[in-house]
Amino acid sequence: MVEQGAINRIERFQKQWTCLLLLQNLALSLGLTLIFGALAVYLFDWLLWIFIPLFLIFFALISLFKPFWKVSLLQISRHLNASFPELEESAALLLKPAQECSALERLQQHKISEVLLQIKPKLPFHKLGWAVLVLATGIGMSFGISFLKPITGAQLSAPIQDNVVTVKEKVLPEIASFSLLIKSPVYTGIPEKTQATFAFKAAHGSLLKWSISTTVPVKVLKLIFNDKEVAVLKSQDKDGKNWQFAKTMTKPGFYQLELDGKKSELYMMTVIPDLPAVIKIIEPKPHTSIDFGQVPQVHLKVSLTDDYGLKSAYVTATMASGKGEGVSFTERKLDFNAQFNHQKSMTLTKLIDLKALGMKPGDELYFFVNAIDNLGQMSRSDVYFVSIVDTAELMSMAGMTNGVNLVPEYFRSQRQIIMDTEKLLAEKSSISEQSFKNRSNDLGMDQKLLRLRYGKFLGEESETEIGGDHDHKEGEDHDDHDHGHEAKETQGQNTQTFGDVKAIMDSYAHKHDVAEDATFLNLN
């Protein structure tokens, strides 16, 4: 019958609509679960199984507000009446039994049935749009947070503390049992651990103790490290069945067991080094100028991190006072008022009072931060520069009326270092070798500070270029003056010229037979 086919089509459309609402609820629930679950794992370090109860909760709440199982045939008929005017608001008549209908209603049923079989109703897929958008947002947040998730302290120490090797090792059949005791250095704070695998991960300087028992008497039992170092184990009994050996590990690589000439497979040795502390100066900027009217103070903020803990930190400051040949340098050590307590990460602050250090307008301060970790390793930051602008000289009548001195002040200040170097050479025979080296290094530091101060006249742009010779490119014309040794020979002799005063003089002396320097004229 035509009427029954129309009713079947309405029922089929009802099932499709129910599936659409179910799919919408699932997509929305899954999207909200991914969003809130990812935030919970990232912020509160919850376990991943939290996603399951979150999904069930969201699905239940959304289904209560949008019950997909309550889609009725009457609702479908109303939707069809609203979507297709040719149904003449009579689609609900098809749901009424024929024996209860009047003759006019039966005629209308027959008419609407023919129309309903010809139309093609469409599901409102546009309602899935915002649910799919929420789902896509949840997927994006889950992947993004997985990359942004910070590494906790427990995760940092896990590679050292977790020495269990998942790959099953092949052990010689003659070995009945064995154990490996790992004692990390005390300063690391890692507890000792015993494992039943030959492959291991240990901190640098850890003490390892092997205890091996065999099923048969063994004459010689050896451990071969990196195919070079051979260690013979000591028997703990007369039968030659119990053996022990201890070693402090400092090098990674592979090792193997040799039992009466029979060798085992290679076992991995992972030795994790203790890295120096990392120093990051947050404030101030690398070059700071204190203008007239500003408070002569510098706020220092430093971030320190170390893998096993910090022991101490301090600031090394060098003040440059005076001008020209009268320049002098004063070095000071500034401590941080903080308790380190072997913390792995710290943020330190210090207020450097330039006036308390004795700085005056025109003076400059060079400083860097030193940090010492629990092992005693020292690391240092880059050199930072602070200067107080001398406005008195700039605004004086002499400063406004005098001509420009074309000779850079660097060359006039260099004379004092040359004089001190010549004096040191004259006193070389009367002072100790250690004192001679110390004074030589001090002169080298003074020279470096001068180059930092006036390097702009020499075309230097960074600290790494200080005192460095440049290599001529192929085909480039050489200067008329003598460059000395070639670049490769210079690099090979760097260690030999350390502390050599003559080498310092030759590298930095202002020689009048250099053609380029003849262009600097003193008009005063």
Mean pLDDT, rounded, for 146-168: 48
Q: Which of 286, 284, 315 is nearest to 301 (CA)?
A: 284
pLDDT of res. 132: 82
Can you give the residue range of the structural domain that contains 485? Answer: 403-443+462-467+481-519
Q: Do 202 and 98 belong together in one domain?
A: no
pLDDT of res. 479: 46
Q: Do 69 and 182 belong together in one domain?
A: no
Mean pLDDT, rounded, for 448-455: 70
Q: Do 263 and 325 belong together in one domain?
A: no
Cα separation, 517 vs 458, whole angstroms? 11
Domain edge (last residue) among 272, 294, 321: 272
Cα separation, 397 vs 503, whole angstroms? 43
User: Would you say residue 32 lies in a domain?
Assistant: yes
Q: Which of 251, 178, 230 is nearest to 209 (CA)?
A: 178
On average, the pLDDT of the chain sits at 75
Residue 330 belongs to domain with CATH number: 2.60.40.10
> Residue 139: pLDDT band by 50, 70, 90 thresholds?
confident
User: Would you say residue 155 lies in a domain?
Assistant: no
Q: Do 289 and 345 belong together in one domain?
A: yes
What is the chain's percent helix, strand, coil content, to nearest 5? 40, 25, 35
Q: Do 26 and 135 belong together in one domain?
A: yes
Sign of the torsion formed by the C-alpha atoms of 450, 414, 325 and 330: positive
In the predicted structure, residue 412 carries a pLDDT above the cut 90: no
Q: Do 175 and 230 belong together in one domain?
A: yes
Cα separation, 167 vs 225, whole angstroms? 21
Pick from 21-30, 142-151, 331-340, 371-380: least confident = 142-151
Q: Do 243 and 213 belong together in one domain?
A: yes
Mean pLDDT, rounded, for 90-116: 65
User: Would you say residue 456 lies in a domain?
Assistant: no
In the predicted structure, residue 106 carries a pLDDT above the cut 80: no
In the predicted structure, residue 467 carries a pLDDT above the cut 80: no
Domain edge (last residue) among 79, 114, 146: 146
Of 79-83, 133-137, 402-406, 504-508, where does the model show the most confidence?
133-137
User: Would you say residue 382 lies in a domain?
Assistant: yes
User: Would you say residue 449 lies in a domain?
Assistant: no
Pair of tokens at residue 393: 């000289």
Residue 231 belongs to domain with CATH number: 2.60.40
Q: Do 320 and 434 belong together in one domain?
A: no
Q: Do 59 and 102 belong together in one domain?
A: yes
Q: Do 378 and 408 belong together in one domain?
A: no
User: Would you say residue 475 lies in a domain?
Assistant: no
Mean pLDDT, rounded, for 8-34: 80
In order, the DSSP letters of 24-45 are HHHHHHHHHHHHHHHHHHHHH-
Q: Do 258 and 237 belong together in one domain?
A: yes
> Residue 19: pLDDT band by 50, 70, 90 thresholds?
confident
pLDDT tens digits for range 66-101: 887 777 777 777 767 676 666 656 666 666 666 666
The residue behind tokens 């390097």 is 455
pLDDT tens digits for range 349-384: 999 888 888 888 888 888 899 999 988 899 999 889
Mean pLDDT, rounded, for 1-17: 68
pLDDT tens digits for range 193-235: 999 999 999 999 999 999 999 988 888 889 999 988 999 988 8
Q: Do 266 and 288 belong together in one domain?
A: no
Half-sphere exposure of 407 (CA within 13 A, CB side): 13
**Number of domains within the chain:** 4
Domain edge (last residue) among 246, 272, 298: 272
Per DSSP, the three-state class of 401 is: helix
